[in-house]
Amino acid sequence: MNAYLDISPEVKAALEAGKPVVALESTIISHGMPYPKNVETALLVEQTIRDNGATPATIAVIGGRLKAGLSREEIEYLGKTGRGVAKASRRDLPALVARGADGATTVATTMIIAHMAGINIFATGGIGGVHRGAEVTMDISADLEELAQTPVMVVCAGAKSILDLGLTLEYLETKGVPVIGYGTEELPAFYTRESGFGVDYRVDSPEELASMFRAQRDLGYRGGMLVTNPIPAEYAMDKKIIDAAIEKALDEAKAQGIHGKETTPFLLAKVVELTGGDSLESNIKLVLNNAKVAARTANALCC
């Protein structure tokens, strides 16, 4: 057991009993949505995982402690504090731990802490990736490197559509990360079900996902697996509308000099504003859908 890791009693009991557990990130609470919608969504995602037979483990850094499983009060604290909580990627964990500080975990740090705790499956909204213009800025999310080296299955709605999806797939291929389409042969693009890019393999059931992940572990691979689960059709947004909003948001980010870890929260918030809140509702629905698939896959992996 890592000396800096605290596993909640509920999560610890499930792990010791060999029952399915699904990890959840906390950046979506602090940086992804406004209060109180962020707290309502976090609790609803946890309930969705329970309703599908697994135990949720929302992950964060609180007072310098790595937390696998948060209390309702801790979720409320992150939601109210919002961007006052540090957005914590891999490079930030040592400083937060040493200083006894708080941090909301990205995909990368959620994978790290989940793996420490013995949790194999993680549900999120969308992963980070290669940002548009990265050939100049070198702005590439640490999420991709973590997928290459940490053996956790990540269930998402594809890479965020604010990114360069083609380059993101190329990067994942170079790192040997399998990109699996759940019920699709095309990479979903977060708010929309299509991107114009293909996935490596199509899988149509949680049992098949579990079998593939089990084989990857048995082969001794050290990296993770990316499962891309399209947003339900009834909640998907029109690609032309979302693309126009993203282009405008990118222009504003450039004009304001937004860069680094602030880029994604700024762009997503701006897209919510430009779409009249429609993208926020789509975001919530896709996260719930990913939680359901992750919980069912965690159940299949435990069988």
**292 is a catalytic site residue:** no
What does each C-alpha distance from 212 to 89, 178, 207, 219 come to in angstroms? 28, 10, 9, 11
Residue 121 is classified by DSSP as E
Please identify which of the residues 25, 46, 76, 146 carries the catalytic annotation: 25
Measured in degrees and rounded to the nearest 5, phi and psi for residue 106 equal: -80, -175
> Which one, of 243, 247, 261, lies nearest residue 139 by Cα?
261
**25 is a catalytic site residue:** yes
Please identify which of the residues 12, 87, 160, 270 carries the catalytic annotation: 160
34 class by beta-carbon count within 10 Å (0-12 exposed, 13-18 middle, 19+ buried) = exposed
What is the rounded distance in angstroms from the CA atom of residue 20 to the CA atom of residue 59? 16
Amino acid at 145: E
What is the rounded distance in angstroms from the CA atom of residue 218 to the CA atom of residue 61? 31
Take residue 154 and report the two structure tokens written for it: 């990540």
What is the rounded distance in angstroms from the CA atom of residue 58 to the CA atom of residue 287? 13
Relative to beta strand 86-88, strand 5-7 is: unpaired
Take residue 212 and report the two structure tokens written for it: 């593939």
By three-state DSSP, how is residue 95 classified?
helix
Q: What b/e readout covers 217-238, taking b as 16+ CB neighbours within 10 angstroms?
A: eeeeeebbbbbbbbbeeebbbe
Residue 222 is classified by DSSP as -
By three-state DSSP, how is residue 17 classified?
coil
Chain Cα centroid distance, residue 121 = 11
Active site residues: 25, 160
